[in-house]
């Protein structure tokens, strides 16, 4: 029996591709699926499977090759995926990277996964920015550190990685974008399938979005039709899912109306569908000229252009980076951006010069023979061998037991069921009887401001969740209605029959509203919600100079700081921040002693918000004394509220803690743990001391049973939190304040983990955004 020939890839027993995967509709999914199929075909003895990223809770109906799914916003699932990889005897992970497909700030969650695996990593970069913002640059540089090889699909990308991101050249591998292996065919062969027999066919394909510049091609059509009345322009592709979620089919409709107004609607065919490979090849085969009229140069690769050239299409394109490289040496023609006249001129010239058009087709087709998936798969396999050989020298054994003492514990999943249950079309109800909303106490502005914070923070993790967007509008609408224009203050309490019970609420409720609106401005991605938040935020500022409550001042300061993350150059808000911070400091300096570093003679409720506000203000005002007092008072709160067994034991509301007296042990409220977590995370950012983060996780465990009574307050079955610890046990009512305190605590730690690979963006970097303020307020 003949001995089987040894494969040069035999050391690669298992490859896992991590990225989007079909049937999810996007270019990354198509690329990952095609690459997996090609590798499996070229190396039949290698097991090839995939980890797929989900952008919706229900996921997708994946093929058997997908063995693990990750919800992009659920950080815990990245932890589980890392453990799964480490235990699965994987030789190489091939990551498909695009910022938008991973959760966390700028897709930072994927860094957590890569830090936890002990397997060689080859990362394919689908986007590389020439002038990257600081966060995107840091993400890519950490990807480079954690990857054994970086694969790019253009020579320009090699230069960017070397010159902008300081990646060693030996770590960079150029492998072209893969394409299907199709014959060089006469376009007339396929035209009858699309009702275009005897026509001159121009084609654009890909997911439809405004950046594609198709309006310029439609504007060029009258000049083309005048010379070639038998021309038809086919626009092939479904609307991009992200665009459809935000704008519906507005862009497609705008294009259709534009064609009608120009009198060329009979020459334009829209195929609104995501086509499979066989259909796509037939469309490409029917095209006489392929056009990519994109609006910006900042595209480092393009699967659509690669496919078109590989099918032997004559191509006219705007000069984005990838097109400049691919269409060099007369493989296509470049026209300026936003120039319909130039598009028409080049297309007409190609139609009139058939010999040149066919020569261009052949040059493109022959150049792309190196890009067929068979050749690309072989280059990836060669890269995997190198990555494994060199990666084994630097990596620890694949399986590493993660004990309770290693790193920070896994966080519970975010469950918003009880939040939804407590919310009706007016807002969130204040109280509950056990788990059932209690209508008799109605609503309050305090809780709706907290609920607004929850939903905008949660959208950082679940950016496409329509329910979160709807809830955000509900809570924002409540705050808008709560604002009394005559007094310049927020009302607080509203009965269940929607009657306000007061004309002016407490200073605390006003401060919490400013806080909630500031966070909404910082995080909101919805233009309408952002406009309302900015407008209402500014209307609420007038009352802040006269408030005297230290907690109301602290809430307001936290809100002002959040707002300034978005509009760092807003002079009025910056001045108001300094005024309030100095006022808070004056209160402290008049009362603080070595053994009582506190702002009052009594420690009461929501205490850590005060040092939190001072830590923020001291940092941005560059006031070391302010920062020092903030940290000192937080350290003191930590000390007095830590039981001798090491768990959190907050000041009880049945007597509080008077200077010179004994601290009340009960009733303990969830709001205290929430305030401490926020303050500790802020302290960790400014001090770079990870012990604050460790303590924040201990504070979260207070909800989970690490407390005086060893009883859990968080209810996993409902997603709600019980109202507090009493001497005899847990208060089993799951009201709004307690549930929102739990959710803010959990979201703060989720978002901190997601942004842990990033440094805080300085306020100075946001000053350039200040010109947005006036237009947003007016809008």
Neighbours of 399 (CB within 10 A): 12
Cβ-proximal residues to 217 (8 Å cutoff; 6+ apart), any chain: 202, 204, 233, 291, 293, 340, 343
Spatial separation of the C-alpha atoms in residues 656 and 151, rounded to whole Å = 60
H or E segment at 66? strand 66-71
Cβ-proximal residues to 366 (8 Å cutoff; 6+ apart), any chain: none
Q: Which two tokens stand for residue 505?
A: 């609420």
Question: Which of 212, 200, 235 has its CA nearest to residue 348?
Answer: 200
Confidence (pLDDT) at 395:
52
The sign of the CA dihedral 190, 192, 197, 202 is negative
Query: Residue 50 has what DSSP assignment?
Result: E
Spatial separation of the C-alpha atoms in residues 754 and 112, rounded to whole Å = 8
Q: Please name every residue paired with 437 in a beta bridge, in sequence order, or none if there are none.
A: 432
Spatial separation of the C-alpha atoms in residues 418 and 574, rounded to whole Å = 37
User: Rg for the chain (alpha carbons), in Å?
Assistant: 30
Q: Residue 437, preceding bond cis, omega within 30 degrees?
A: no
Quote the strand ranges of 384-507, DSSP E.
429-433, 436-444, 483-484, 489-490, 493-494
Residue 741, exposed/middle/buried by CB under 10 A (0-12, 13-18, 19+)? buried
The listed range with the strongest mean pLDDT (410-414, 490-494, 589-593) is 490-494
Question: Which of 575, 469, 454 has its CA nearest to residue 512?
Answer: 454
Residue 570, exposed/middle/buried by CB under 10 A (0-12, 13-18, 19+)? buried
- Backbone torsions φ then ψ of 46, nearest 5 degrees: -95, 130
Neighbours of 87 (CB within 10 A): 10
Span 149-176, average pLDDT: 96
Q: Which two tokens stand for residue 363?
A: 């040059």
Query: Residue 527 has what DSSP assignment?
Result: H
Cβ-proximal residues to 74 (8 Å cutoff; 6+ apart), any chain: 103, 413, 414, 461
Coil, strand, or helix at residue 95? Answer: strand
Ranges of H-type helices in 311-444:
321-326, 340-352, 354-367, 373-394, 417-422
pLDDT score of 668 more than 80: yes
H or E segment at 538? helix 527-540
Neighbours of 701 (CB within 10 A): 16
Cβ-proximal residues to 437 (8 Å cutoff; 6+ apart), any chain: 421, 422, 429, 431
pLDDT score of 757 more than 90: no
pLDDT band per the 50, 70, 90 thresholds, residue 4: low
563-579 pLDDT per residue, tens? 999 998 999 999 999 99
pLDDT band per the 50, 70, 90 thresholds, residue 404: very low
pLDDT score of 216 more than 50: yes
pTM over 0.85: no
pLDDT score of 775 more than 50: no
Q: Which two tokens stand for residue 30?
A: 């198509």
**Mean of the per-residue pLDDT values of the chain:** 91
Coil, strand, or helix at residue 334? Answer: strand
Spatial separation of the C-alpha atoms in residues 326 and 449, rounded to whole Å = 53
pLDDT score of 281 more than 70: yes
Q: Indicate the pairing of strand 489-490 with strand 483-484.
A: antiparallel
CA dihedral 354, 355, 360, 365 (to 10 degrees): 100
Confidence (pLDDT) at 247:
82
Distances (CA, A) of 132 to 127, 412, 665: 11, 33, 51
Span 538-556, average pLDDT: 96
Distances (CA, A) of 459 to 143, 454, 536: 24, 9, 21
Give the distance from CA 131 to its chain's centroid.
Answer: 20
pLDDT score of 550 more than 80: yes
Neighbours of 115 (CB within 10 A): 15
675-731 pLDDT per residue, tens? 999 999 999 999 999 999 999 999 999 999 999 999 999 999 999 999 999 999 999
pLDDT score of 410 more than 90: no
52-102 pLDDT per residue, tens? 999 887 889 999 999 999 998 888 889 899 999 999 999 999 999 999 899
Ranges of H-type helices in 147-228:
155-163, 188-191, 214-227
Place of tokens 């270019």: 27
pLDDT band per the 50, 70, 90 thresholds, residue 400: very low
CA angle 324, 330, 331 (to 5 degrees): 70
Give the distance from CA 546 to its chain's centroid.
Answer: 38
Confidence (pLDDT) at 409:
66
DSSP letter for each residue of 192-214: GGGT-TTSEEEEEESSB-GGG-H
Tell me, letter by letter, the H, E, C secondary structure of 384-402.
Answer: HHHHHHHHHHHCCCCCCCC
pLDDT score of 414 more than 70: yes
Confidence (pLDDT) at 622:
92
pLDDT score of 398 more than 70: no
Spatial separation of the C-alpha atoms in residues 372 and 310, rounded to whole Å = 8
The sign of the CA dihedral 566, 568, 570, 574 is positive
Confidence (pLDDT) at 589:
84
219-243 pLDDT per residue, tens? 999 999 999 999 999 999 888 887 8
Cβ-proximal residues to 44 (8 Å cutoff; 6+ apart), any chain: none
Lowest mean pLDDT among 171-185, 194-208, 216-230, 658-672: 194-208
198: left (phi over 0), alpha (psi -120 to 50) or beta: left
Question: Which of 424, 540, 420, 434 has its CA nearest to residue 479?
Answer: 540
Q: Please name every residue paired with 201 in a beta bridge, in sequence order, or none if there are none.
A: 232
Spatial separation of the C-alpha atoms in residues 372 and 307, rounded to whole Å = 10
Number of H helices, E strands in the chain: 28, 22
Q: Are 679 and 608 in contact (CB under 8 A)?
A: yes
Span 371-391, average pLDDT: 95
Query: Residue 55 has what DSSP assignment?
Result: S
Coil, strand, or helix at residue 543? Answer: helix
Q: Are 603 and 611 in contact (CB under 8 A)?
A: no
pLDDT score of 132 more than 70: yes
């Amino acid at each position: 029996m003949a001995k089987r020939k040894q494969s040069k890839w035999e050391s690669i027993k298992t490859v896992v591709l991590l990225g989007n995967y079909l049937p999810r509709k996007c270019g990354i999914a198509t690329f990952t699926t095609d690459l997996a199929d090609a590798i499996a075909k070229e190396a039949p003895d290698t097991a090839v499977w995939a980890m797929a990223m989900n952008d919706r809770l229900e996921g997708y109906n994946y093929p058997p090759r997908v063995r693990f799914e990750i919800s992009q916003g659920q950080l815990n699932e990245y932890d589980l995926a890392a453990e799964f990889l480490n235990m699965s005897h994987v030789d190489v992970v091939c990551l498909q990277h695009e910022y938008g497909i991973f959760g966390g700030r700028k897709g930072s969650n994927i860094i957590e996964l890569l830090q936890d695996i002990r397997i060689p990593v080859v990362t394919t970069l689908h986007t590389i920015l020439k002038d990257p913002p600081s966060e995107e640059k840091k993400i890519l540089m950490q990807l480079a550190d954690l990857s054994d090889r970086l694969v790019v699909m253009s020579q320009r990308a090699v230069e960017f990685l070397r010159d902008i991101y300081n990646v060693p050249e030996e770590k960079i591998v150029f492998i072209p974008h893969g394409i299907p292996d199709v014959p060089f065919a006469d376009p007339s062969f396929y035209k009858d399938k699309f009702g275009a027999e005897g026509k001159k066919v121009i084609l654009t394909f890909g997911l439809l979005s405004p950046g594609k510049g198709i309006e310029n091609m439609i504007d060029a059509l009258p000049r083309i039709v005048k010379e070639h009345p038998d021309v038809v322009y086919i626009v092939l592709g479904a609307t991009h899912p992200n665009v459809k979620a935000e704008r519906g089919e507005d862009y497609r409709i705008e294009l259709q109306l534009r064609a009608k107004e120009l009198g060329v609607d009979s020459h334009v065919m829209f195929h609104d569908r995501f086509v499979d490979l066989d259909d796509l090849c037939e469309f490409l085969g029917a095209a006489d000229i392929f056009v990519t009229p994109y609006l910006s140069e900042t595209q480092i690769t393009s699967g659509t252009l690669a496919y078109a050239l590989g099918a032997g299409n004559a191509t006219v394109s705007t000069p984005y980076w990838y097109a400049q490289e691919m269409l060099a040496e007369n493989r296509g023609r470049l026209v300026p951006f936003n120039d319909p006249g130039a598009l028409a001129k080049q297309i007409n010239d190609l139609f009139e010069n058939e010999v040149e058009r066919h020569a261009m087709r052949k040059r493109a087709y022959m150049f792309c023979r190196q890009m067929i998936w068979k050749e690309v798969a072989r280059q990836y396999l060669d890269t995997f061998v190198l990555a494994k050989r060199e990666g084994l020298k630097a990596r620890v054994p694949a399986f590493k037991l993660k004990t309770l003492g290693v790193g920070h514990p896994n966080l519970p999943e975010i469950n918003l069921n009880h939040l939804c249950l407590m919310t009706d079309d007016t807002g969130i109800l204040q109280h509950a009887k056990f788990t059932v909303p209690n209508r008799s106490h109605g609503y309050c502005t305090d809780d709706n401001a907290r609920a607004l914070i929850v939903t905008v923070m949660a959208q950082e993790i679940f950016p496409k969740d329509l329910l979160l967007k709807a809830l955000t509008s509900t809570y924002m609408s409540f705050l808008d209605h709560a604002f009394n224009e005559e007094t310049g203050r927020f009302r607080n309490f509203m009965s269940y029959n929607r009657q306000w019970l007061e004309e002016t609420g407490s200073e605390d409720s006003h401060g919490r509203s400013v806080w909630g609106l500031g966070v909404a401005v910082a995080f909101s991605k919805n233009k309408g919600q952002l406009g309302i938040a900015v407008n209402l935020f500014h209307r609420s500022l007038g009352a802040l100079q006269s408030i005297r409550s230290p907690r109301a001042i602290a809430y307001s300061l936290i809100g002002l700081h959040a707002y300034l993350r978005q509009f760092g150059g807003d002079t009025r808000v910056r001045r108001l921040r300094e005024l309030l911070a100095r006022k808070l400091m004056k209160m402290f300096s008049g009362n603080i002693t070595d053994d009582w570093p506190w702002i009052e003679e009594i420690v009461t409720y929501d205490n850590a918000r005060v040092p939190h506000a001072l830590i923020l203000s001291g940092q941005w005002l560059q006031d070391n004394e302010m920062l020092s007092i903030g940290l000192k008072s937080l350290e003191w709160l930590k000390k007095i509220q830590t039981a001798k067994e090491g768990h959190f034991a907050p000041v009880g509301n049945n007597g509080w803690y008077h200077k010179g007296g004994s601290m009340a042990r009960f009733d303990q409220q969830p709001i205290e743990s929430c305030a401490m977590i926020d303050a500790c995370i802020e302290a960790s950012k400014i001090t770079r001391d990870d012990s604050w983060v460790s303590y924040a996780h201990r504070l979260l465990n207070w909800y989970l049973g690490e407390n005086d009574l060893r009883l859990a307050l968080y209810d996993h079955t409902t997603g709600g939190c019980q109202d507090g610890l009493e001497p005899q046990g847990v208060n089993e009512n799951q009201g709004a304040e307690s549930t929102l305190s739990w959710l803010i605590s959990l979201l703060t730690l989720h978002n901190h983990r997601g942004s842990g690979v990033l440094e805080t963006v300085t306020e100075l970097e946001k000053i350039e955004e200040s010109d947005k303020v006036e237009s947003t307020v007016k809008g």
